[in-house]
């Protein structure tokens, strides 16, 4: 029986602040999987965008139902420790941390409204859901675990009789969760009468900057295209105290969203043609270090950009990382017995993982969304004089992340080779 994993994500401007210690296990795994997948999600040299948070959350829910060799492979590929209860608790804590951002933003907006200030608040929502075949023998312990730890309620659908109707219902739920930024996550005929379960994570973010880029300062400026000539790109400018650091071969700057709990991280290679080298050297530890950068006055010049990649099936990428038996390779090897009883003529396996993302960045902030779906089928300080401002001109291909500062978890991760 088929399992489908769906991962929609939307990103918009945001706020921030928690210790996030309990969520660090989940954050480390999220960043590690993001680093593994980024090179495989788009043609070399092109723009790329994924949501490591969305992908990892949906796969963590799926892993909770795996057993035997299938579980061993998933734990290894997903960078989980063997302590499965700690994994589930960590993802629950991270989800609670992100929900807390939204709660604090709402309280802040209400407080400011009392003084006649009506600035746009940050919006950040995450949601999980299980869509399963009505009457199928799912294990109650599995459904309870996902409901309690991942806040993923079960919704019964009838894939056997109306797979097309079930597809429409799931896609509509994703659209609602992502403010219509993620449409048609499940392509036509991807689900059929053998589908038994679809696990979905959706994330939506709309985050204003802590300090907005002046609209009047945006001007066309040259951007060096990878392997080609320069092209004009609408480039924003801001002079402010920002997180900044010099590293070997690249520089990094962090621009906070409203509230300071979320931030945009830019990793800019020193050389115009240096993106490939920096991307090849990218490690989860490099992303974690970006969560708490020392501040310095920075004159930042950053191009506006919008990314909306096509639907990404991730099944082949996950298999290439070593997660094979989950996809029933070789046939008969999938073991999701903790999800539903495994019988010789009726057992679950992952048929495909679908991921779709959207991101728009401009003077006001960032809007982004993502969704991921796993489809399962049945087979038969000291004070010093201020330093002079750093000139940080993003005028050639770069890496970026939208990061939760308390844990270092990357909600979104991507690269820009052409911002136009």
Structure tokens at 257: 């969203």
Beta-carbon count within 10 A of 72 CB: 14
Asked if the structure places residue 235 within a domain, the reply is no
pLDDT of residue 387: 67
Distance in Å from the first CA to the final CA of the chain: 43
Question: What gap in Å lies between CA 25 and CA 366, rounded to an integer?
Answer: 27
**pTM of this structure:** 0.90
Question: What gap in Å lies between CA 184 and CA 64, rounded to an integer?
Answer: 27
pLDDT of residue 102: 84
Asked if the structure places residue 350 within a domain, the reply is yes
Beta-carbon count within 10 A of 297 CB: 14
Structure tokens at 105: 């933003």
Regions of the chain with pLDDT less than 50 = 7, 9-20, 381-383
pLDDT of residue 12: 33
pLDDT of residue 217: 92
Number of domains in the chain: 1
Asked if the structure places residue 232 within a domain, the reply is no
pLDDT of residue 14: 28
Asked if the structure places residue 236 within a domain, the reply is no
Asked if the structure places residue 12 within a domain, the reply is yes
Asked if the structure places residue 334 within a domain, the reply is yes
Asked if the structure places residue 267 within a domain, the reply is no
> 12: cis peptide before it, omega within 30°?
no
DSSP letter string, 237-286:
EEEEEEEEEEETTEEEEEEEBTTSSEEEEEEEESSTT-HHHHHHH--HHH
Tens-place pLDDT, residues 215-253: 899 999 999 998 778 999 999 999 999 999 999 999 999
Question: What gap in Å lies between CA 242 and CA 259, rounded to an integer?
Answer: 14
pLDDT of residue 44: 74
pLDDT of residue 183: 94
Residues spanned by the domain of 149: 2-209+304-380+406-416
Question: What gap in Å lies between CA 334 and CA 336, rounded to an integer?
Answer: 7
Longest CA–CA span in the chain (Å) reads 74
Any idea what the CATH number is for the domain that residue 347 is in? Answer: 3.30.497.10
Question: What gap in Å lies between CA 383 and CA 306, rounded to an integer?
Answer: 40
Question: What gap in Å lies between CA 59 and CA 61, rounded to an integer?
Answer: 5
Question: What gap in Å lies between CA 397 and CA 268, rounded to an integer?
Answer: 7
Asked if the structure places residue 322 within a domain, the reply is yes
pLDDT of residue 149: 94
Whether the CB-CB separation of 198 and 373 falls below 8 Å is answered with: yes
Q: Which residues contact 308 (CB under 8 A, 6 or more apart)?
A: 357, 358, 359
């Amino acid at each position: 029986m088929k399992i489908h994993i769906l991962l929609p994500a939307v990103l918009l401007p945001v706020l921030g602040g928690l210790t996030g210690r309990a969520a660090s296990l989940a954050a480390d795994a999220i960043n590690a999987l993001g680093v593994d997948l980024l090179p495989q999600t788009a043609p070399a040299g092109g723009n790329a965008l994924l949501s490591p948070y969305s992908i990892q959350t949906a796969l963590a829910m799926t892993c909770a139902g795996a057993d035997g060799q299938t579980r061993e492979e998933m734990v290894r590929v997903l960078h989980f420790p063997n302590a499965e209860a700690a994994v589930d608790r960590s993802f629950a804590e991270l989800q609670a941390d992100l929900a807390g951002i939204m709660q604090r933003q709402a309280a802040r907006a209400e407080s400011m409204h009392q003084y006649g200030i009506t600035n746009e608040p940050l919006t950040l929502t995450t949601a999980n859901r299980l869509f399963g075949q009505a009457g199928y023998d799912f294990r109650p312990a599995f459904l309870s675990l996902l409901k309690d730890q991942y806040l993923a309620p079960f919704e019964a659908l009838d894939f056997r009789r109306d797979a097309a109707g079930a597809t429409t219902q799931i896609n509509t739920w994703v659209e609602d969760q992502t403010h219509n930024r993620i449409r048609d996550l499940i392509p036509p005929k991807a689900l059929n009468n053998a589908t038994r379960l679809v696990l979905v994570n959706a994330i939506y973010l709309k985050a204003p900057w802590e300090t907005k880029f002046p609209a009047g300062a945006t001007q066309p400026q040259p951007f060096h295209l990878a392997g080609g000539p320069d092209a004009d790109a609408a480039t924003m400018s801001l002079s402010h105290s920002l997180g900044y650091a010099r590293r070997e071969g690249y520089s990094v700057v962090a621009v906070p969203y409203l509230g300071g709990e979320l931030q945009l991280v830019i990793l800019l290679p020193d050389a115009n043609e240096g993106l490939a080298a920096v991307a090849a050297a990218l490690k989860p530890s490099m992303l974690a270090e970006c969560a708490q950068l020392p501040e310095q006055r920075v004159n930042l010049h950053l191009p506006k950009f919008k990314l909306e990649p096509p639907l990404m099936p991730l099944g082949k990428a996950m298999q290439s990382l070593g997660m094979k038996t989950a996809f029933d390779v070789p046939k008969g090897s999938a073991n999701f017995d903790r999800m539903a009883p495994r019988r010789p003529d009726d057992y679950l396996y992952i048929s495909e993982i679908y991921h779709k993302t959207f991101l728009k960045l401009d003077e006001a902030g960032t809007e982004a969304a993502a969704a991921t779906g796993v489809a399962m089928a049945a087979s038969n300080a000291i004070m010093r004089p201020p330093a002079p401002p750093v000139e940080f001109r993003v005028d050639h291909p770069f890496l970026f992340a939208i990061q939760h500062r308390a844990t270092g978890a990357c909600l979104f991760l991507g690269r820009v080779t052409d911002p136009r």
